[in-house]
Chains A and B, each alone.
Chain A
Amino acid sequence: MFSWELLVDAIVLGAMVGCFYAAVSIGLSISFGLLDVPNVAHPALLVLAAYGAWLLGDFDIDPIVAGLLLMPVFFVLGVLLYRTYHETFEKRGSEAGVRGLAFFFGMAFIIEVGIIMAFGVDQRTVQAFYIGKSIEILDVRIPMRMVVAFAMALLLSLALTFYLSKTFLGRAIRAVAQDEGALRLMGADPVAIKQWAFGIATAVVALAGALLIIVQPVEPTLDRAYIGRTFCVVVMAGLGSMSGTLLAGVILGVAETIVLTMFGASWAPAISFTLLLVVLGVRPQGLFGR
């Protein structure tokens, strides 16, 4: 049954979910969008961070604080990951494509199975004072957990946009994305900058993982659903565009929520992937393509 009320509900909730999708994709927007690293392990790292937040939850640590605590750890993890990728694939040059992809695909599987073996396949949730309550905005009931995730997501995207456009290192990262060779001619070391940027991207994933477990219960194979969502958002945004990430996230969020209310949950997994295929087919450079 079609009703305007349901549609408005879906759009409002979808926009909030969408900002959350932007937050979980923004790390990929840097690592894949700006640095051209085929980081298919990104969603697995996301779920790993969510489990980190769950573990810290045992010590009565708020998930967001846990996410912040995990950031330095993930920064180091990201640096190590990029170092390995660079030494083994980027340096060798040709054929890096196939094997680099396989490398990250394999890493994703190792992380996923590692989580299963360590914590089992059960769904995990966290406790916090804002989880389980809801508020009303514009006559629409919205769970508090969504509001918290939404606010954090906005904050994160704004902070990163600021970082990439106003600070010295942020501009250096964008420069490396535009022309690596030119950077080398200027006497800068593109590899060091990319390593730093990949660290930042992975650190952001730590916080995004904390948001993930606030928004929904996590299980080890959840990363598969987020392959579609994160890549859909990043590709639709146009590689490396931060403001585009936010808009693309909202488009995906609204589309998912509308289909969910109209056709039911069994169609949900295909939406992000269908949208991704459509974008790839019709406008591969994305909304704000460079």
Chain B
Amino acid sequence: MTMQGLGQRIGFWIGAAAFIALAFAMALVIRNEYVFFAGFVILQFIVLATAWNILGGYAGYVNFGTSAFFGVGVYTAVFLLKAVDAPLWIQILVAAIVGAALGLGVGLLTLRLRGIFFSIATVAITIIAETLITNWKFVGGATGVQLLRPPVTPPFDSYIKMLFVIAAVMVVIAVALARHVQNSGIGRGLRAIRDDEIAAECSGVPTLNLKLVACALSGALMCAAGAPSAMYLQFADPVSAFNLNYSVSALAMSLIGGTSHWIGPVLGAILLATTQQLLTVTISSEVNVLVLGVMLVLFVVVAPEGIIGLVRRVWRLVRRGTP
């Protein structure tokens, strides 16, 4: 490893530690619960967008099934709660394992399906999973299920603050994994797959293994992001757990931020999720989906490289302007 690489790595982990410390400090100091209520959702979307980008951005497989993974995560938590009254960290951990398994299944689909066929297949998985849950009485069926939060443990004085800090930790884990994938041989292989899968296969890139790794990682993170959502809402029903809005959000945030670097989905998620939170409160939830759709279409048409691409372009102009 070069000195510069080492410096970047140290810088990243200092930033990550500062981020968690900040979240923790906020939970201890700020009294207004709404900050955490909105903040949790924003952090959750950072995880979802980052997870989506591992497969969609690096490998170029467009996953419309973020909501399938999210919903399965929610219902893994619901099942564990109802069956064995499992604590939150077990719910998240098991959800990640289930998500990785489901991701492997989706990864096997990529053996035969590419492009739009893969995308439609992921929509199919979403609807099939939703239908199965709808018909499963134990976890509440179509009407949904009410959940009770366990008492909160110190140093937190409210459950929502604890969820906020947990989400912050998940963001760091997700981003660290994405960063590792991007900078390692896995990322190079995935990019080769995106540019030309057959050529990559012919040059000895283990395409199937790489795709399976990407799918499993992405799936595990998405499911894990869904798990605390059950406790957050204290309620779960199939229609909202498997809502396609999660799919379009994760995809839009990645593409708007820029898919070539891990910072892209993070920026996109912060920008869009914050706007969404403001719009939902001030105008309506329909308007925020509309804004999301319009932004997505605008960006893919006008700025295909996303915010990262725009910044790079401006940067190049500035450097050329000052000789």
The yes or no answer to B123 lying at the interface (CB within 8 A) is: yes
The yes or no answer to A155 lying at the interface (CB within 8 A) is: no
Q: A98-B56, A284-B117 are in contact. Are A277 and B124 (CB under 8 A)?
A: yes
Kindly provide the distance from the CB of B256 to the nearest chain A CB, expressed in whole angstroms: 10
Contacts of A101 in B (CB 8 A): 62, 115-116, 119
Q: From DSSP, what is the main secondary structure of chain B's interface residues? A: helix
Convert A100-115 into 0s and 1s, putting 1 for each residue whose CB lies closer than 8 angstroms to a CB of B.
Answer: 0111011101100110
Nearest to A111 among chain B residues (CB) is B293
The interface centre, meaning the residue of A98, A117, A266, A269 with most chain B CB atoms within 10 A of its CB, is A98
Partner of A117, one of B130, B134, B287: B287
Segment at the A interface, from B43-51, B269-277, B295-303, B312-320: B295-303
Contacts of A235 in B (CB 8 A): 117, 120
Partner of A269, one of B64, B127, B251: B127
Cβ–Cβ contact B124 & A228, under 8 A: yes
The yes or no answer to A136 lying at the interface (CB within 8 A) is: no
The yes or no answer to A280 lying at the interface (CB within 8 A) is: yes
The yes or no answer to A236 lying at the interface (CB within 8 A) is: no
Cβ–Cβ contact A94 & B300, under 8 A: no
Convert B192-213 into 0s and 1s, putting 1 for each residue whose CB lies closer than 8 angstroms to a CB of A.
Answer: 0001000000000000000000
Cβ–Cβ contact A105 & B124, under 8 A: no
Nearest to B244 among chain A residues (CB) is A224
Contacts of A102 in B (CB 8 A): 62, 251-252, 255, 296, 300
Within 8 A of B (CB), among A117-165: 117
Cβ–Cβ contact B289 & A266, under 8 A: no
A contact residues, total (Cβ < 8 Å):
39
Partner of A116, one of B115, B135, B286, B292: B286
Convert B82-122 into 0s and 1s, putting 1 for each residue whose CB lies closer than 8 angstroms to a CB of A.
Answer: 00000000000000000000000000010011011101110
| Chain B residues engaging chain A, CB cutoff 8 angstroms | 56, 60, 62, 64, 109, 112-113, 115-117, 119-121, 123-125, 127-128, 130-132, 134-135, 142, 195, 244, 248, 251-252, 255, 259, 286-287, 289-290, 292-294, 296-297, 300-301, 304
24 pairs, A vs B, C-beta closer than 8 Å: A38-B116, A88-B301, A95-B304, A97-B60, A98-B255, A99-B300, A99-B304, A101-B62, A107-B293, A109-B290, A110-B290, A110-B297, A113-B289, A117-B286, A117-B290, A266-B142, A269-B127, A273-B125, A274-B128, A276-B121, A277-B121, A277-B124, A280-B109, A280-B117
13 further contact pairs, Cβ within 8 A, besides A266-B131, A270-B130, A273-B124: A99-B300, A102-B251, A102-B252, A102-B296, A103-B301, A113-B289, A117-B287, A228-B127, A269-B131, A273-B125, A277-B121, A280-B113, A280-B121
